[in-house]
Structure formats: C-alpha cells, structure tokens
C-alpha cells in the first residue's frame, strides 16, 4: 500500500517499547497512552502453518495483495491461523486497494511489499527496510477497526514479516512511515509461533 516515503523519518519514530523517548522522538501524550492502554489485544501470534503460507505467497507475488487473517482471542493475545482474501479493486507492485476485511471475523490485515531492489530516494537499502507501514498504509489501518496490521516483504532471500497493533498506528499516524519495531524483529529468527513486539 504505497512505498515508504522518506528516510529522515526513521529518526523520529523509533519503538514504543523504548523506555524513554529517544532524541527527536515525540513523547506519547496522555491521550496516546490512554489509547494504547485501552486496547485489550496486545500480542499477535501467527500459527506456524499460516506464517509459512504467507511467506510462500509473498515470495512469489510481484504485486501487492491483501489477506484478512482470522483466528481466536485468548486474553490479550490474538492467535491467527487462517486467511480469507477480500476482493481486490486495484493491485500494483507498490499499492493495493482491497474491499474491506470483515471486522467481525478479522483479527489482522496482511499485505505484502514486493522487494524490487534498493532505492536510495526512499531510503531503502535492504528488504528489511521495506517492512514498514507507509503513510497510505497508516491511513488505512487507522480508518479500519482491525486490531493488527501485518506486512510481509516478498521476493527477498528469506521471509520477512512484521506487524503492528492498530493503536500503534493511531499513535504514530502523523509520521511519514512506521518502521518495524526492533524488539519484534529480534524475535523473528525463531519464526514459528513468534510473538509480537511491543
């Protein structure tokens, strides 16, 4: 849903898990903290089988698509195991316009970012840099009510998956793009049953 826009923003967003705001990173307002704390679902777990299928799809797709991830809720954790594909109005290598995922049955909305090589004008050096929510992505996530957004970077040498709570997108809605969170990224080599970051 749109290529990341500007590398300079990397310095501004950082991770919500950071113990203290880094230099240049906006502090959370009391309202932002209230939003974060009021959302019951804090963790996302992708079933290993689902993760394999998503990674396989992303590896082969040269255009963006959207999938609605479904599963169950246990406490503050969403466990997703299956997906349904919504109708897609428009799809290209760096954008996709789907019909909405049904909010009653969707816990996370997934889409892929096909890796097409480094692009200095967008600050993209590695496929990992493409695991971010672009401004159009953020607008879509904020406008939606689905608790999580998941992105796979496709056509890369290895599976790359990252995700965000919707409330993290709400809190960061004014940034140019929202990178993956470092803590989540560090958990990913285990892939199977990986839990989310902050």
Stretch that binds Zn ion, among 11-19, 42-50, 134-142, 165-173 (CB under 5 A): 134-142
Cβ at position 183, least distance to Zn ion in Å: 21
Cβ at position 137, least distance to Zn ion in Å: 4
Please state whether beta strands 88-92 and 95-98 pair in parallel, antiparallel, or not at all (unpaired). Answer: antiparallel
Residue 57 token pair: 């799809």
Residue 101 token pair: 């995922």
Using rule CB under 5 A, residue 129 touches Zn ion? no
In the block, residue with structure tokens 């897609």: 88
Please state whether beta strands 148-154 and 160-165 pair in parallel, antiparallel, or not at all (unpaired). Answer: antiparallel
Minimal CB distance residue for Zn ion:
1
Cβ at position 152, least distance to Zn ion in Å: 10
The CA-CA-CA angle for residues 61, 177, 44, to 5°, reads: 65
In the list 4, 137, 148, 172, the residue contacting Zn ion (rule: CB under 5 A) is 137
In the list 1, 59, 65, 67, the residue contacting Zn ion (rule: CB under 5 A) is 1
**Residues near Zn ion (CB under 5 A):** 1, 137
């Amino acid at each position: 849903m749109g290529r990341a826009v500007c590398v300079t923003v990397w310095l501004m967003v950082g991770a919500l898990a950071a113990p203290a705001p880094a230099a240049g990173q906006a502090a959370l307002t009391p309202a932002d903290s209230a939003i974060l704390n009021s959302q019951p679902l804090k963790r996302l777990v992708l079933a290993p089988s689902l993760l394999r299928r998503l990674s396989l799809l992303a590896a082969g797709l040269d255009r963006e698509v959207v999938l609605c991830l479904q599963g169950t809720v246990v406490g503050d954790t969403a466990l997703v195991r299956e997906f349904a594909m919504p109708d897609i109005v428009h799809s290209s290598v760096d954008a996709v316009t789907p019909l909405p995922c049904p909010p009653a049955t969707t816990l996370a909305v997934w889409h892929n970012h096909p890796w097409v090589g480094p692009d200095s004008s967008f600050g993209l050096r590695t496929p990992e840099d493409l695991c971010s929510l672009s401004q159009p992505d953020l607008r879509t996530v904020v406008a939606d009510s689905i608790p999580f957004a998941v992105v796979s970077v496709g056509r890369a040498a290895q599976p790359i998956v990252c995700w965000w709570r919707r409330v993290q997108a709400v809190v960061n809605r004014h940034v140019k793009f929202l990178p993956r969170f470092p803590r989540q990224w560090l958990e990913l080599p285990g892939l199977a049953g990986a839990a989310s970051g902050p």
